[in-house]
Amino acid sequence: HGLARHAMAVYERATAAVLPEEMFELFNIYIKKAAEIYGVPQTRQIYEKAIDVLQEDNCREMCQRFAEMETKLGEIDRARAIYAHCSQICDPRVTAEFWQTWKEFEVRHGLARHAMAVYERATAAVLPEEMFELFNIYIKKAAEIYGVPQTRQIYEKAIDVLQEDNCREMCQRFAEMETKLGEIDRARAIYAHCSQICDPRVTAEFWQTWKEFEVR
């Protein structure tokens, strides 16, 4: 009967009374109805309440929906703040999809610095066996956005934290990059550094690569 305010009050009371596992579905209905009656921007308070009370898995999904809504409204800073808030409950080891969504958001909106910050945070949180792959993605994206020479700091960090096998491979890639850039002394220093973890009895390939570099 046109009593929208009363209808919304019923939803509000219901979200405080249902079981935790029923909240997510109810909040989705509440948000949908509020958007139909008042318009999408007026759903912010409902999203905020939902994020405060939902269980973690549902909270992450609600955060992403909220951020997507703000993005569609052109509220990029609001969306970024929501992603940043959500990241506090998103372990990159088990919520890779969230981090990928956030990275794509930053890249899409031309905010390269923020995208790189997301990669940086992720490399500090993933499992050791996942670091190598993530660093490769990070380096590739940084090269695309800033240019190859600007990947040096990422290579250096990777070499500091990777396990030995992956560290050796990363060193060789780093040295190859410097060689292509004509930075021969830099490349030589990288090979020399890497040699400290390369036993010639078991890493003959590395020593052969270094020898070929010096001959060239």
Position 42 scores a pLDDT of: 87
What was the pLDDT predicted at 1?
A: 42
CB count in 10 Å sphere of residue 181: 13
Q: Tell me: the pLDDT tens digits for 163-212?
A: 999 999 999 999 999 999 999 999 999 999 999 998 888 889 999 999 99
CA–CA distance, 77 with 61 (Å, rounded to integer): 19
| pLDDT in the model for residue 208 | 92
Weakest-pLDDT range from 51-55, 86-90, 107-111, 112-116 = 107-111
Which residue type does 155 have? Y
CA distance 154 to 139: 7
Decide if pLDDT at 4 tops 80: no
CATH fold group of domain 112-215:
1.25.40
Q: Looking at residue 111, what is its pLDDT? A: 66
Here the contacts of 15-18 (C-beta below 8 Å, separation 24 or greater) are: 15/49, 15/50, 15/53
Q: Taking a C-beta distance cutoff of 8 angstroms, is the pair 123, 157 a contact?
A: yes
Average pLDDT, the chain: 87
What is the pTM assigned to this prediction? Answer: 0.56
pLDDT of residue 110: 61
Residues in CB range of 161: below 8 A, 6 or more apart: 123, 131
2 pLDDT band (50/70/90 cuts)?
low
pLDDT digits (tens, 9 = 90+) for 112-167: 777 788 888 888 877 888 889 989 989 998 898 888 988 999 999 999 999 999 99
pLDDT tens for 67-102 read 999 999 888 889 989 998 998 888 777 787 888 888
pLDDT digits (tens, 9 = 90+) for 6-18: 778 888 888 888 8
HEC string for the chain: CCCHHHHHHHHHHHHCCCCHHHHHHHHHHHHHHHHHHHCHHHHHHHHHHHHHHCCHHHHHHHHHHHHHHHHHCCCHHHHHHHHHHHHCCCCCCCCHHHHHHHHHHHHHCCCHHHHHHHHHHHHCCCCHHHHHHHHHHHHHHHHHHHCHHHHHHHHHHHHHHCCHHHHHHHHHHHHHHHHHCCCHHHHHHHHHHHHHHCCCCCCHHHHHHHHHHHHC
